[in-house]
Structure 1
Amino acid sequence: MKESRSEFIDAHGVRLHVRRWGPPDAPMLFMLHGWMDIGASFQFVVDALAGDWQVLAPDARGFGLSDWPVARSGGGHYHFPDYLADLERLLDHFTPDAPANLVGHSMGANLALLYAGVRPERVRRVVDLEGFGLPAARASQAPGRLAQWLDDQRTPPTLRSYASLDEVAERLIRTNPRLAPARARHLAQFWSREEADGRFHLLADPAHKMRGPTLYRLDEVSATWARVTAPVLHVEAKDSPTLAGFAGQTPVAEFKQRFEAFADWREEVIDDAGHMVHHDQPERVAALIAAFCA
């Protein structure tokens, strides 16, 4: 495996961890992980990348080795504007004078696509790995969502702990049965940490399990996507279960009409993969990234 090194950047009082591979003078790729994941998740794609690339994969706030925004006792609050501000801080630090290549998985893909619309001049390419956006919300859902959020404040969520790294690896395989045991074991050591009680705790703020108080406004998202000038490569697993879940009763083709907002959008479909395409087919994903961002 290619070796990585850790760096820490301050983002508005929150210390963000960035995992970095490759020579410092090579072209940059910023890789943004998904929900309940970490920057080290891209190890297998990095290993498969041909040529010289400098890959920077931050742990989003509240994940991995990045800070929780507030004291551990209460957990943090996580909203997309916070993630956008963190990403801008990272780009200000690492590439202040050149547009960036953004690669995002799931939540990270949605972050990359939104940022590319908010700051189109700062983004050169976007590779969207299984990022679809959420189902469109209705205004009538707002009271219930706010009530649920208030209820959640009374009983903060928790995350279970594990007796060993092997148990953490088994947890990863249950989530993604395609994940090879050796890869699961590798990820487990970055996904968790042994604490004073002798058990392995996931490196994630349990507050991430709380649904936010605001609705997903597809019209606002589409207006932002329409401002993206960078070419966008959408990479999707064949018969993606995540896409099917988001689409629900809506036909998939109709659900994906939202992508018509992008001026330059193209798609690649990967066989024998699930939502974690970067774990299931890292060689194929790496080849697509390298060709698209070259």
Structure 2
Amino acid sequence: MYQVLRESTSTFVSLRGCRYHVRHWGNPAGTATPLVLAHGWMDVAASYQFMVDALSEAFVQQRPIIAFDWRGYGLTASPPTDSYWLPDYLGDLDALLDHFYPGQAIDLVGHSMGGNVVMMYTGARPERVRRLVNLEGFGLPVSRPSQAPGRMAQWLDGLKAQSEGKNELKPYTDAAGVAARLMKTNHRLPQNKADWLAQHWASEGSDGQWRILGDSAHKVSNPYIYRVEETLETYKRITPPLLAVEASDDSLSQWWKGTYTLAEYHERLQSVPQVRLEVIQDAGHMMHHDQPEVLARLLEEFLS
């Protein structure tokens, strides 16, 4: 089992009708800017543990560091719902920052879905962020208005499938099965890290089955098409410096098969007034698992 170097402590806070779970590291009395970490789709706050362990002691002792489970993930309890909406994540983040760091600018990191959220949030609330880091939060391919009816129908079908229990996530007989799933998804993930993550990514039910700590309603697609023009206008209002980090594996090519490329993503980033692009070698989408030491050094240099 992976040996944690920096244990986290947990608190629970009520935010917008959700009982949010928040992990804390670092020095709560530190005078440096707080660091806030937002995880991605079907992930949890504990996913950042390896990166936090790789940060230098001097960096950690200077500041509070928190990561939280988004609504419908991990240990965060949210109201019953049959679908999730991107604006709710922004609202939750705004409420969380007001709770922990009212009136204070923070350093904000987001991975994947969390990267998309923090980009949109910073465009709407640039005064709340001192430095911004986006880890492979690429956004989506350009949509056409003609796709709107089909997308709405897809959402309606998703709601029906959810109500009929067809979106249920696969259970596992034990934690070892969860670890095997994690290693199958990420071939770079070693056994000891997979075993540790499995204990936080899933939990054992009363029937002895292990289930992923993610609401199956997250599988229901939103009904509205992605409007890249609105995204670019939001990017233009990101006034803090942005560090955009991507992995050498080129996840976009794997996901979208040429319908959305890294070149298009890089073109979108040009709308951000101050942007620095970095690539982490020998890493896939879960770069904070694959190369936590490299990522930690990048963050320290950028945030310091």
Please give the range of the TM-score, normalised by the shorter of the 2 chains: over 0.9
Distance 1:262 1:233, change over 3 A: same
Query: How far apart, in 2, do the equivalents of 1:191 and 1:91 lie?
Result: 24
Whether contact under 8 Å (1:117, 1:226) holds in the other structure is: yes
1:11 equivalenced with 2:15 (yes/no):
yes
Offset at residue 69 of structure 1 (A): 2.4
Q: Deviations over 1:49-100 (max 9, x none)?
A: 1122421101000000001321xxxx44211110000000110011112111
- The structure 1 residue matched to 2:161, chosen from 155, 158, 161, is 155
Higher mean displacement: 15-24 or 38-47: 15-24
Q: Where does residue 97 of structure 1 map in the other structure? A: 103
Q: Where does residue 117 of structure 1 map in the other structure? A: 123
SS at match of 2:74: coil
Higher mean displacement: 249-258 or 8-17: 249-258
Identity of aligned residues (%): 49
Q: Where does residue 83 of structure 1 map in the other structure? A: 89
Q: Where does residue 217 of structure 1 map in the other structure? A: 227
Whether contact under 8 Å (2:71, 2:77) holds in the other structure is: yes
Q: Deviations over 1:35-61 (max 9, x none)?
A: 000000000000001122421101000
1:182 equivalenced with 2:158 (yes/no):
no
Q: CA RMSD in A?
A: 1.3
Q: Where does residue 270 of structure 2 map in the other structure? A: 260
TM-score of the aligned structures, taking structure 1 as reference length: 0.95
SS at match of 1:235: strand
Whether contact under 8 Å (1:232, 1:265) holds in the other structure is: yes
Q: Deviations over 1:91-117 (max 9, x none)?
A: 001111211100110111111111110
Whether contact under 8 Å (1:241, 1:274) holds in the other structure is: yes
Offset at residue 256 of structure 1 (A): 2.1
Distance 1:136 1:247, change over 3 A: farther
- The structure 1 residue matched to 2:146, chosen from 137, 140, 143, is 140
Count matched residues: 290
1:273 equivalenced with 2:279 (yes/no):
no
Distance 1:289 1:67, change over 3 A: same
Structure 1: stretches of 5+ with no match in the other structure: none
- The structure 1 residue matched to 2:49, chosen from 43, 50, 70, is 43
Runs in 1 of length 4+ with deviation above 4 angstroms? none
Structure 2: stretches of 5+ with no match in the other structure: none
- The structure 1 residue matched to 2:114, chosen from 108, 111, 133, is 108
1:288 equivalenced with 2:298 (yes/no):
yes
TM-score of the aligned structures, taking structure 2 as reference length: 0.92
Whether contact under 8 Å (1:132, 1:243) holds in the other structure is: no
Q: Where does residue 167 of structure 1 map in the other structure? A: 177
Query: How far apart, in 2, do the equivalents of 1:142 and 1:249 lie?
Result: 18
Higher mean displacement: 253-262 or 98-107: 253-262
Offset at residue 253 of structure 1 (A): 2.0
Query: How far apart, in 1, do the equivalents of 2:122 and 2:160 lie?
Result: 36
- The structure 1 residue matched to 2:202, chosen from 192, 214, 217, is 192
Higher mean displacement: 232-241 or 173-182: 232-241
Distance 1:91 1:197, change over 3 A: same
